Amino acid sequence: MTDHDARTKVYVEGAHGIRVPFTEIALDDSPGTGEANPPFRVYDTSGPGSRPERGLPPLRREWIAQRDDVEAYDGRTRTLADDGRSAVRRGEASQEWQGERREPLRAKAGRRVTQMHYARRGIVTPEMEFVALREQCDVELVRSEVAAGRAIIPNNINHPETEPMIIGKRFLVKINANIGNSAVTSSIAEEVDKMSWATKWGADTVMDLSTGDDIHTTREWIVRNSPVPIGTVPIYQALEKVDGNADALTWEIYRDTVIEQCEQGVDYMTVHAGVLLRYVPLTAERVTGIVSRGGSIMAGWMLAHHEESFLYTHFDELCEIFAQYDVAFSLGDGLRPGSTADANDEAQLAELRTLSELTQRAWEHDVQVMVEGPGHIPLHLVEENVRLEQEWCHGAPFYTLGPLTTDIAPGYDHITSAIGAATIAMHGTAMLCYVTPKEHLGLPDRDDVKTGVITYKLAAHAADVAKGHPGARDRDDALSKARFEFRWNDQFNLSLDPDTARSMHDETLPAEAAKTA
Amino acid sequence: MTDHDARTKVYVEGAHGIRVPFTEIALDDSPGTGEANPPFRVYDTSGPGSRPERGLPPLRREWIAQRDDVEAYDGRTRTLADDGRSAVRRGEASQEWQGERREPLRAKAGRRVTQMHYARRGIVTPEMEFVALREQCDVELVRSEVAAGRAIIPNNINHPETEPMIIGKRFLVKINANIGNSAVTSSIAEEVDKMSWATKWGADTVMDLSTGDDIHTTREWIVRNSPVPIGTVPIYQALEKVDGNADALTWEIYRDTVIEQCEQGVDYMTVHAGVLLRYVPLTAERVTGIVSRGGSIMAGWMLAHHEESFLYTHFDELCEIFAQYDVAFSLGDGLRPGSTADANDEAQLAELRTLSELTQRAWEHDVQVMVEGPGHIPLHLVEENVRLEQEWCHGAPFYTLGPLTTDIAPGYDHITSAIGAATIAMHGTAMLCYVTPKEHLGLPDRDDVKTGVITYKLAAHAADVAKGHPGARDRDDALSKARFEFRWNDQFNLSLDPDTARSMHDETLPAEAAKTA
């Protein structure tokens, strides 16, 4: 049986017309005994497939409408500045979105439309039911974890194309893939392709970190085609709007950028609101200072203005905005260590204490929150990071970048970080932001994206197995049984990357007969 | 400054004409401040370089001779069967060794020539002094750890070409690279090249696991050219001598093979003497039975003969042989789990208890011992493996294959195992056997060898840093400082793989100016 025959997409049906996708892998009988091996189902993030210029169907539109708590409105008018200086110069974005343009939705006056809001009121949404079928768990676990803030379902009402997923330590460990253009390289088409490619291999969310031209339009194409939640760092776009001059940033420019992205459908946003003015001097003696781009933009702004960060002082306004669209906070760690030397230092931990405060403030608005974590951490200090985050931030989901466990292997930082990632996820991190081989060296290309995703899928899975997550080891056992019985095709098809496994095997033993021998 | 200018080999000199190699990396001044950055020295395993047909100079010959406890002798006459069935058929090996042939050495009657023997008598050998300079530690630490059995210096007196190194948890974590031909592929020249290639990138020892033709002659070429200790699994060659029919194995055939390899200069040998007849039934319910080749050969033999393993019943004779050449035991884990499902089960732990007994028996003969460990282990069970080994085997160095922390990523098992390897080394494993991307799929080629070595170097280093090994983080700090100061060339040159880091960077930003910007 070939790869393509053996792996098919199937749907598990639930109430409200819910259809949850899985990849079903057909398996051969055991040789000798003739024992039948039942087909194996795995979590599927690839979505139903789209034509990029059209986008995906709005799967959740009815669910959202039926709650009768949102209204369509004209929305903010897009300006050329949303696409950066080149677009202003040219008088147009490089490649306008061609598919359907829907009016943006927002909460009706006085309403909150977040999954946390519903969960706290005891309401089970179709999104929660979808997630429960996907995770093969009780829907009450989903509802109660979201209500308690220990899990989030990032689902902007303006991104109805998503297949709902959940981020929380009681659920499967998730992974995020970063994509995005920069001033130096890449096109809109390439970024859309990277997003689809990342979800094909298992990315649970995708962050669009574009910093170059056509930021608005690139994001439009990505959001409209993405079956998974999209995250952004709005300060990147805000900075483009002031020609890269951080001192010129204002709360108003930032707020408008956030609203622009809320209307487009961004599901979660990284906000570095925990970088306070008084923390900046704590980084002076570091080996690598401030390495977070958002953190250093805000540190520069605060030092130039001798003022507290507008992200912090206007945080409640941000919460009010997020509550109208169900955008989740990803509270950024702007002071994360950029080297193992700086790990778990006072700057990092001071910021984490502020993220604790911000988590509670967001929850007062029923806004969903996850908390970002480092970065570069020696292996013996990894566990402390998630332990402190869980304690201080009241169980809000932790979302870490790796961490890298050594600084000496540029070119292999997907691996230095997979070591830290598996370990931190075993101890309770809910989502892992991937690191590709290009980390520190350049922007990931298509191959790097795949390598990063597969590496993080295996790290997340190693953590699921180590946590004793229900059923997590079933796939290992099915593959191991296939391996022991020399069912080569089944071994390939059950693996995270059948293409690579098959081609490596064929380099040595190409004969088809050798695959069932 | 280019890569090749910046990295040079330097020697630190000690007594007895000892010259210990290091790679010295010249660094640029810090931009702006003009601060000078001192050159950085790293551990160097690449040896002085050889012409393969000649081999390396016998660095340790005088040290060995001056102890006046060895004698040259005629040695066992090589037979064509030593090179397998094809050589017998052809009447010759495929490519005879062309360099110097020295008469083998062995201990004079009644003498023991092991580093453990000297260490226990308070003698500091040149090998120990070499190791102390290399590890930048006190020589008394070296002597006392070897005397206590907590570290080994694998150094067959018939492999005087080696630069001594030490394996023990108080020292830098070491890595081993497996090479070796098989019935299917590869030539002698390819295997010698893989050995040199592996040591160029940092392999601390190399195991020749050849199972195909020309086993004896392939090994001769490898040993004569290797600056690092060579390990083997003698049962593989013994099996070739009986045409692959395990039932036909005898103690005598095995013993003669061991002596043949002792005379050639193999530094440590994997012996699966802990697989006892009564343990075999413990594997019946496993998902993956017995996956160790040596373990399954011996299990098959025992079941066929209804007898205890000759490796166990003749273990003291093996000790006597090893003591005459200073060959170290690598006590094999023939019942290691081949899947996460089988991890830490009764079969595995029963064998480990027997390895405890064998460790002590070897030590009674002053023979150096390390103990092999798995394999496939979920991350939460990894630490227990090294804790039990250290407790039960009285602190003998642990030498583990990974372990792989999930079974679902063939093609990426260097990564699934690096996660386990870094973790188990942090908890006390002394040497890590690499796993390449081809694990479970085929034999590693040159690229796979490099990927495996670099992956394991970074895992070992992550463990050194996590253990707080003296000075281990210095390299991370030097590289992080270079990174923060945009000294790109220094960042490349300080990395484990400057070529890859440089080329990945150049894909995005090729201009030379961009490397110091």
Residue-by-residue DSSP string for B83-130? G-HHHHHHTS-SS---S--PPPEEEPTT----HHHHHHTT---HHHHH
Q: Which of A234, A175, A217, A178 is nearest to A90 (CA)?
A: A217
**Tokens standing for B236?**
């593989």
Nearest to B505 among A340, A419, A441 (CB): A441
**In the block, residue with structure tokens 């087909």:** A39
pLDDT mean over A239-265: 97
- Note the pLDDT of residue A186: 63
Instruction: Note whether A504 contacts B410, CB cutoff 8 Å.
Output: yes
Within 8 A of B496 by CB-CB distance, chain A residues are 408-409, 412
CB B229 within 8 A of CB B154: yes
CA B195 to chain centre: 11
Nearest to B441 among A379, A477, A504 (CB): A504
Q: How far apart are CA B21 and CA B130, in angstroms?
A: 10
CB A494 within 8 A of CB B408: yes
Residue B150 distance to chain A (closest CA, Å): 23
Q: How far apart are CA A151 and CA A145, in angstroms?
A: 5
Tell which wins on pLDDT, A78 or B110.
Answer: B110
Strand partners, B23: B9, B42
The low-confidence residues of chain B, meaning pLDDT below 70, are 1-4, 183-186, 509-517
Instruction: Note whether B409 contacts A454, CB cutoff 8 Å.
Output: yes
Interface of A with B in 262-301 (CB under 8 A): 287-289, 291
Mutation pick from A35, A285, A344, A412 vs chain B, by most beta carbons of B within 10 Å, is A412
Residue A132 distance to chain B (closest CA, Å): 24
- Residue A65 predicted with pLDDT over 90: yes
Q: At A121, is the secondary structure helix, strand, or coil?
A: coil
Is the Cα dihedral B117, B123, B125, B128 positive or negative? Answer: positive
In angstroms, the Cα distances linking A470 to A12, A204, A464, A514, B344 are 19, 19, 9, 35, 20
B108 phi and psi angles, rounded to 5 deg: -60, 160
- Note the pLDDT of residue B100: 87
Mutation pick from B436, B438, B441, B465 vs chain A, by most beta carbons of A within 10 Å, is B441
In angstroms, the Cα distances linking B261 to A155, A403, B65, B208 are 65, 45, 21, 11
Instruction: Note whether A412 contacts B500, CB cutoff 8 Å.
Output: yes
Instruction: Note whether A441 contacts B504, CB cutoff 8 Å.
Output: yes
Q: Which of A130, A136, A140 is nearest to A18 (CA)?
A: A130
Nearest to A481 among B287, B291, B415 (CB): B287
A454 phi and psi angles, rounded to 5 deg: -65, -40
Instruction: Note whether B480 contacts A338, CB cutoff 8 Å.
Output: yes
Number of Cβ within a 10 Å radius of residue B140: 12
Within 8 A of A403 by CB-CB distance, chain B residues are none
Instruction: Note whether B462 contacts A380, CB cutoff 8 Å.
Output: no
- Helices and strands, number each (H, E), in chain A: 20, 15
Nearest to A484 among B287, B492, B507 (CB): B287
Within 8 A of B338 by CB-CB distance, chain A residues are 480, 483-484
- Note the pLDDT of residue A517: 38
Q: How many residues does chain B have?
A: 517
CB A59 within 8 A of CB A163: yes
Nearest to A442 among B380, B410, B509 (CB): B509
Q: What is the pLDDT of residues A190-237, one digit of tens each?
A: 889 999 999 999 999 999 999 888 899 999 999 999 999 999 999 999
In angstroms, the Cα distances linking B252 to A376, B248, B303, B314, B358 are 55, 11, 19, 10, 20
Tell me if chain B has a CB within 8 Å of the CB of A414.
yes
Q: How far apart are CA B96 and CA B98, in angstroms?
A: 6
Instruction: Note whether B458 contacts A412, CB cutoff 8 Å.
Output: yes
Q: Which of A319, A324, A326, A327 is nearest to A359 (CA)?
A: A319
- Note the pLDDT of residue A29: 97
Whether the model pTM is above 0.90? yes
Q: How far apart are CA B288 and CA B284, in angstroms?
A: 9
Name the residue of chain B whose CA is nearest to A448's CA.
B504
Instruction: Note whether B419 contacts A414, CB cutoff 8 Å.
Output: no
Long-range contacts of B183-189 (CB under 8 A, 24+ apart): B183/B211, B183/B212, B183/B213, B184/A508, B184/A509, B184/B212, B184/B443, B185/A508, B185/B443, B186/B212, B186/B443, B187/B94, B187/B95, B188/B94, B188/B95, B188/B214, B188/B217, B188/B218, B188/B221, B189/B52, B189/B95
Name the residue of chain B whose CA is nearest to A404's CA.
B462
Whole-number average pLDDT of chain A: 94
Within 8 A of B517 by CB-CB distance, chain A residues are none
CB A271 within 8 A of CB A330: yes
Residue A322 distance to chain B (closest CA, Å): 35
- Sequence-distant (6+) residues with CB within 8 A of B295 are B272, B275, B332, B333, B334, B335, B336
In angstroms, the Cα distances linking B476 to A253, A440, B473 are 39, 14, 5
Q: At A272, is the secondary structure helix, strand, or coil?
A: coil
Instruction: Note whether B495 contacts A411, CB cutoff 8 Å.
Output: yes
CA A161 to chain centre: 16
pLDDT mean over A61-88: 91
Q: At A110, is the secondary structure helix, strand, or coil?
A: coil
Q: What is the pLDDT of residues A156-180, one digit of tens each?
A: 999 999 999 999 999 999 999 999 8
Name the residue of chain B whose CA is nearest to A416's CA.
B458
Residue type for position A21: P
Cis omega (within 30 of 0) for bond into A403: yes
CA B34 to chain centre: 43
Nearest to A476 among B341, B501, B505 (CB): B341
Instruction: Note whether A466 contacts B408, CB cutoff 8 Å.
Output: no
Instruction: Please count the CA atoms within 13 angstroms of the CA of A455 that sit on its side-chain side.
Output: 29
Q: At B43, is the secondary structure helix, strand, or coil?
A: strand
Tell me if chain A has a CB within 8 Å of the CB of B405.
yes
DSSP state of A8: E
CB B290 within 8 A of CB B352: no
- Sequence-distant (6+) residues with CB within 8 A of B66 are none
- Sequence-distant (6+) residues with CB within 8 A of A77 are none
**In the block, residue with structure tokens 């892992």:** A432
**Tokens standing for A79?**
């300006």
- The residue ranges of DSSP E strands in B368-502, in sequence order, are 369-373, 398-401, 431-433
Q: At A152, is the secondary structure helix, strand, or coil?
A: strand
A151 phi and psi angles, rounded to 5 deg: -150, 155
Number of Cβ within a 10 Å radius of residue B1: 16
Nearest to B411 among A184, A422, A504 (CB): A504
**Tokens standing for B43?**
């551990």
DSSP string, A416-481: HHHHHHHHHHHTT--EEE---TTTTTS---HHHHHHHHHHHHHHHHHHHHHTT-TTTTHHHHHHHH
Within 8 A of B497 by CB-CB distance, chain A residues are 409, 411-412
Long-range contacts of A13-20 (CB under 8 A, 24+ apart): A14/A129, A14/A130, A14/A133, A15/A126, A15/A129, A16/A63, A16/A126, A16/A129, A17/A62, A18/A126, A18/A129, A18/A130, A18/A133, A20/A130, A20/A133, A20/A134, A20/A163
- Note the pLDDT of residue B510: 55
Q: Quick one: pLDDT band at residue A509, thresholds 50, 70, 90?
A: low
Instruction: Note whether A289 contacts B484, CB cutoff 8 Å.
Output: yes
In angstroms, the Cα distances linking A96 to A87, A196, A494 are 11, 19, 40
Q: How far apart are CA B181 and CA B212, in angstroms?
A: 6
Name the residue of chain A whose CA is nearest to B485's CA.
A288
H/E run at residue A329 = strand A328-331
- Residue A96 predicted with pLDDT over 50: yes
Q: How far apart are CA B141 and CA A418, in angstroms?
A: 34
A177 phi and psi angles, rounded to 5 deg: -115, 130
CB B45 within 8 A of CB B202: yes
Q: Which of A121, A450, A162 is nearest to A328 (CA)?
A: A162
Helix axes B413-426, A413-426, angle to 10 degrees: 60
Q: How far apart are CA A260 and CA A239, in angstroms?
A: 14
Mutation pick from B429, B448, B474, B476 vs chain A, by most beta carbons of A within 10 Å, is B476
**Tokens standing for A309?**
């960060």
Instruction: State the pairing for strand pair B328-331/B268-271.
Output: parallel
Within 8 A of A418 by CB-CB distance, chain B residues are 415, 418-419
Residue type for position B314: H
Helix axes B413-426, B382-392, angle to 10 degrees: 50
Mutation pick from B35, B415, B432, B474 vs chain A, by most beta carbons of A within 10 Å, is B415
pLDDT mean over A83-94: 83
Q: What is the pLDDT of residues B29-84, one digit of tens each?
A: 999 999 999 999 999 999 999 899 999 999 999 999 999 999 999 998 888 889 88
Angle, alpha carbons A40-A42-A44 (nearest 5°) = 145
Name the residue of chain A whose CA is nearest to B422's CA.
A419
- Residue A512 predicted with pLDDT over 90: no
Nearest to A411 among B405, B463, B501 (CB): B501
- Note the pLDDT of residue A176: 98
**Tokens standing for B164?**
């001594």
Instruction: Note whether B184 contacts A466, CB cutoff 8 Å.
Output: no
Nearest to A462 among B405, B467, B476 (CB): B405
Residue B478 distance to chain A (closest CA, Å): 9
- Note the pLDDT of residue B514: 47
Interface of A with B in 431-490 (CB under 8 A): 437-438, 440-443, 445, 454-455, 457-459, 461-463, 465-468, 473, 475-477, 479-481, 483-484
Q: How many residues does chain A have?
A: 517
**Tokens standing for B435?**
């796993």
Within 8 A of B457 by CB-CB distance, chain A residues are 409
- Residue A257 predicted with pLDDT over 90: yes
